[in-house]
Amino acid sequence: MTTTLTPAKVRIEFNDAVVRAFMLAAIAWGAVGMLAGVLIASQLAFHAMNFDTSWFTFGRLRPLHTNAAIFAFVGNMMFAGIYHSSQRLLKQRLPSDFLAWVHFWGWQLIIVAAAITLPMGLTRSKEYAELIWPINALVVVIWVIFAVNFFWTIARRNEPTLYVALWFYIATIITVAMLYIVNHLQIPTSWTHSYPLFGGAQDALVQWWYGHNAVAFFLTTPILGIMYYYMPKAAERPVYSYRLSIVHFWSLVFIYIWAGPHHLLNTALPSWLQSLGMVFSLMLWAPSWGGMLNGLLTLRGAWDKLRTDPVLKFFAAGVTFYGMATFEGPLMAIKSVNALSHYTDWTIGHVHAGTLGWNGFMAAGMFYWLAPRLWKTQLYSVRLADIHFWTGMVGILLYIASMWVSGISQGLMLNAVSPDGVLVYPNFVEVVTSAHAMMITRTIGGALYLAGWVLMIYNLTRTIWGTQAVNGVIEVAAPEHETPSLTFAAAFFNAPVLYSAALVVFSCIWMFGGSLGFLIALPGLILTVITALVHFETSGSTWGQWYERLLASWVPFAVLTFIAVALGGAIQIIPTLTLERTTAIDGIHQKLYSPLELYGRDLYIREGCYLCHSQMIRPFVSESMRYGEPSKLGESMYDYPFQWGSKRTGPDLARVGVKYDDLWHYRHMMNPRSTSPGSIMPNYPWLFTQNSDYSVLPNRIHVQQMLGVPFPKQTPEEIVAAARKQAEEISTSLHGKGVQAVPDREIIALIAYLKQLGQFEKIPAKK
């Protein structure tokens, strides 16, 4: 929709309709996601809130909450912010309205599909990657459509160079695509079920490379870009420092990727990966704070506006929470701190400092700023927005504080060993019940935050009610002087890039080269740093000129970004893929699942057991007393997907199979409180009425064989018969203990799986 005014000037009307749509969707899905959060928080406070209903149970609703908050709420918010600001920063309308609307409706379709399938128990059980494969495929298609429309706008821009917000958008689009595709490689066994391409430790590594960087590149970089646009707009002040933007952008995107293994500290993961996860998390502290500084210091000279402008209030608080969470994160990534914090509520509190504080408040600030402009009107009530701010703030603080208290208590209690050499709290349930008050406080905090959100919905509804939507318009003159763009050669063969490349190469030589590598790498590293410093002192200004020309060359810029984000993952993941399975697995390998056990395992996944139970015993005295010997890599080598878990609301289950008998599990799944008084685990009555469908097994086993699991060759009939036979045996055993259990019921398969946990074979040492 461009009309020529004069030969030199064109009038451009932005596509703000799609921005409005994304914004309204974000507001609505935000409410849904938060409501789901309050609900599952209440389930942890009062187990009766599970209502003995399969689709309403914590294990199925928790993924719904996380997916809604991340992809539905922040996703839609991000698209609104990116489309709105990019069109203005590039002085160009989105090239295709059609693609924009396909993006919008496609994304809403994905969300609705997720909201239907997750409560049904259709899940891949990888955190924030739970959706089943047909939805995964749709996500990829829609993301590519988004990317096409975005980069197409860049290609047709009327602004010679790229503003910092756009750097972050580019990094977001490229990296999310890379992470999402690799972590969703899988082989379907049916329309609703699949097994991932990676298993065991490899799956764990890939999953947390993805999981950590979903936080980085879905919840952080796009919001930083949004901060760089809306913060200076709202404050009407220049951004604090361009060169800080450069340094913190490149260090952030390069370093973030490496930090994934900090989710697997003190596990069986090879220790070099754990070390990388820890030290890169520490190195991430300063780059993260660079973003916070550039945000907060942009407010210099505008601090007084915080008193009157709710937009700036939300932004300033949001950026402060970002700073807090990005300090807490590296702290928790220190191995010894992690020994206390991991598997506890502390992590949950940390995540919510980021999502409620940073994402939620930045979103609210952006919506309050956008609504009056997109509908050309005034905000209905500044006072209501203030009340929203303070309600939300109290909500966040209650949430975080209660999770600190419960998380640190859990860590201390579970690790406590008395002087006479025994666990001080041998009974896990003691730890669970001690956190009850904090579970209630957290629910109240979440509810307050939601209440603030509802106030915003009311406020914005009154703001835009009865007004006319207005699209932004600019008049663009043809750029007077073209900034010459760089060729690929000039973009890559340049001092800063070459020095960075040298540092990475020498670091790799050190990491993988043993003693000889060290002897080569150390002088190499020192020499590179010194040369680079001297070079920068003498001709740093030419580096600056090079970078400004790079900003006029979006393709080389995007390629450099891709290389920066791809390196960390490649260097960590590729060596682990080539590990020889039988030798790398420290003398132990997992017993193969029987068909019935595999079926039970898929039920374990369906019910989301991994959300509260880990299967990874860490090498601590307390854990070896409580759960048994530390887990080894070989014990989960045939696990597709891995089930190490990330949270212990209940105890670890890696060796539970040798602890209790079938009758105990039978009663426990029927009513956990009958065997563990005080437990907050839901009842699973439907497992006692629903029948197993063994006919899916031959195909599932076939796919696992394709993945390299050495299942014996069996005909489909043999597989089903083997499952039947084992079910009969368990049923008979239960019968002998006075319980009538029909062999075909799901509970029997689940018991078969649980009884098998902790079974492994020792591999005779090869000489």
Partner 1 sequence: MQKSKAEPIDPLREHVYDGIQEYDNRLPNWWLWTFYGAIIFAVAYWFYYHQAGMDLPNEVILAKAKAEVTARAASLSKGPLTDDQLWSLSLDPATVAAGRLTFVSTCASCHGDNLEGKIGPNLTDQRWIHGGNPVQIVQTVTTGVAAKGMPAWGPLLGAKRVNEVVAFVLSHHKKGEPMVIDPTATASGKP
Cα 562 to Cα 688: distance, rounded to the nearest angstrom:
50
| Binding segment toward partner 1, per CB under 8 A, in 149-157, 286-294, 381-389, 588-596 | 286-294
Subset of residues 512 to 551 that bind partner 1, contact rule: CB under 8 A = 515, 518
DSSP 423: B
Cα 606 to Cα 691: distance, rounded to the nearest angstrom:
14
Say which residue the tokens 């890169």 belong to.
280
| Binding segment toward partner 1, per CB under 8 A, in 68-76, 190-198, 661-669, 694-702 | 661-669
Cα 500 to Cα 560: distance, rounded to the nearest angstrom:
11
Q: Count the Cβ atoms, other than its own, within 10 Å of residue 516.
A: 9
664 binding partner 1? (CB under 8 A)? yes
Under 8 Å between Cβ of 156 and 92: yes
| Binding segment toward partner 1, per CB under 8 A, in 40-48, 371-379, 719-727, 732-740 | 732-740
By CB under 8 A, name the one of 96, 158, 161, 467 that touches partner 1.
161
Subset of residues 86 to 115 that bind partner 1, contact rule: CB under 8 A = 88-89, 91
CB of 92 to partner 1, least distance (A): 12
Under 8 Å between Cβ of 589 and 637: yes
Token digits of residue 416: 């406590």
How far out from the chain centre does Cα 748 lie?
Answer: 34
By CB under 8 A, name the one of 285, 546, 547, 688 that touches partner 1.
285
By CB under 8 A, name the one of 268, 393, 460, 719 that touches partner 1.
268
Single out the residue of 235, 241, 358, 227 nearest to residue 299, CA to CA: 235
CB closer to partner 1 out of 146 and 163: 163
Query: Residue 623 — φ and ψ, nearest 5°?
Result: -70, -35
CB closer to partner 1 out of 38 and 333: 333
Query: Residue 195 — φ and ψ, nearest 5°?
Result: -115, 140
671 binding partner 1? (CB under 8 A)? no
626 binding partner 1? (CB under 8 A)? yes
By CB under 8 A, name the one of 4, 7, 307, 420 that touches partner 1.
420
Which residue(s) pair with 476 in the sheet? 10
By CB under 8 A, name the one of 55, 240, 458, 543 that touches partner 1.
240
CB of 2 to partner 1, least distance (A): 18
CA distances from 57 to 54, 591, 611, 748, 749 (A): 6, 31, 12, 20, 20
CB of 616 to partner 1, least distance (A): 12
How far out from the chain centre does Cα 52 lie?
Answer: 29
Token digits of residue 24: 């309204």
By CB under 8 A, name the one of 674, 689, 691, 732 that touches partner 1.
674
DSSP 313: H
CB closer to partner 1 out of 134 and 587: 587
Subset of residues 581 to 620 that bind partner 1, contact rule: CB under 8 A = 619-620
By CB under 8 A, name the one of 30, 287, 395, 650 that touches partner 1.
287
**Secondary structure of 659-697 as H, E, C letters:** CCCHHHHHHHHHCHHHHCCCCCCCCCHHHHCCECCHHHH
CB of 86 to partner 1, least distance (A): 10
661 binding partner 1? (CB under 8 A)? yes
CB of 600 to partner 1, least distance (A): 18
At residue 325, the 3 state secondary structure works out as helix
762 binding partner 1? (CB under 8 A)? no
Subset of residues 297 to 326 that bind partner 1, contact rule: CB under 8 A = 297
CA distances from 613 to 182, 647, 661 (A): 26, 6, 19
Under 8 Å between Cβ of 365 and 234: yes
Dihedral class, residue 421 (left if φ above 0, else alpha if ψ from -120 to 50, else beta): left
By CB under 8 A, name the one of 625, 689, 706, 761 that touches partner 1.
625
The beta strands (E) that lie in 355-413 are given as none
Residue type, 584: A
Which residue(s) pair with 188 in the sheet? 194
Cα 60 to Cα 49: distance, rounded to the nearest angstrom:
13
Under 8 Å between Cβ of 189 and 696: yes
By CB under 8 A, name the one of 2, 53, 190, 271 that touches partner 1.
271
CB of 638 to partner 1, least distance (A): 21
Which residue(s) pair with 762 in the sheet? 588
By CB under 8 A, name the one of 146, 151, 229, 367 that touches partner 1.
229
Token digits of residue 173: 């689009």
Subset of residues 331 to 390 that bind partner 1, contact rule: CB under 8 A = none
Single out the residue of 257, 208, 222 nearest to residue 71, CA to CA: 222
Subset of residues 474 to 513 that bind partner 1, contact rule: CB under 8 A = 510-511
Cα 155 to Cα 451: distance, rounded to the nearest angstrom:
43
By CB under 8 A, name the one of 4, 6, 418, 538 that touches partner 1.
418
By CB under 8 A, name the one of 7, 466, 736, 764 that touches partner 1.
736
CB closer to partner 1 out of 430 and 475: 430
CB of 15 to partner 1, least distance (A): 16
Single out the residue of 217, 180, 219, 207 nearest to residue 352, CA to CA: 219
Query: Residue 478 — φ and ψ, nearest 5°?
Result: -60, 135
Cα 565 to Cα 557: distance, rounded to the nearest angstrom:
12
662 binding partner 1? (CB under 8 A)? yes
Cα 291 to Cα 259: distance, rounded to the nearest angstrom:
18
Which residue(s) pair with 186 in the sheet? 196
Report the run of H or E that residue 195 belongs to, with start and end.
strand 194-196
Query: Residue 185 — φ and ψ, nearest 5°?
Result: -65, 130
DSSP 727: H
Pairing label, strands 473-477, 588-590: unpaired
| Binding segment toward partner 1, per CB under 8 A, in 281-289, 358-366, 590-598, 723-731 | 281-289
CB closer to partner 1 out of 70 and 278: 278
CB closer to partner 1 out of 132 and 235: 235
458 binding partner 1? (CB under 8 A)? no
CB closer to partner 1 out of 97 and 629: 629
Residue type, 504: V
By CB under 8 A, name the one of 115, 302, 306, 417 that touches partner 1.
417
| Binding segment toward partner 1, per CB under 8 A, in 134-142, 558-566, 721-729, 734-742 | 734-742
| Binding segment toward partner 1, per CB under 8 A, in 204-212, 237-245, 456-464, 555-563 | 237-245
By CB under 8 A, name the one of 55, 660, 686, 688 that touches partner 1.
660
CB closer to partner 1 out of 515 and 715: 515
| Binding segment toward partner 1, per CB under 8 A, in 112-120, 182-190, 234-242, 558-566 | 234-242
CB of 40 to partner 1, least distance (A): 26
CB closer to partner 1 out of 626 and 745: 626
CB closer to partner 1 out of 41 and 164: 164
Residues binding partner 1: what is the number (CB under 8 A)? 73
By CB under 8 A, name the one of 576, 675, 699, 705 that touches partner 1.
675
740 binding partner 1? (CB under 8 A)? no
Under 8 Å between Cβ of 72 and 33: yes
CB of 330 to partner 1, least distance (A): 8
CB closer to partner 1 out of 264 and 396: 264
CB of 528 to partner 1, least distance (A): 13
394 binding partner 1? (CB under 8 A)? no
CB of 360 to partner 1, least distance (A): 24
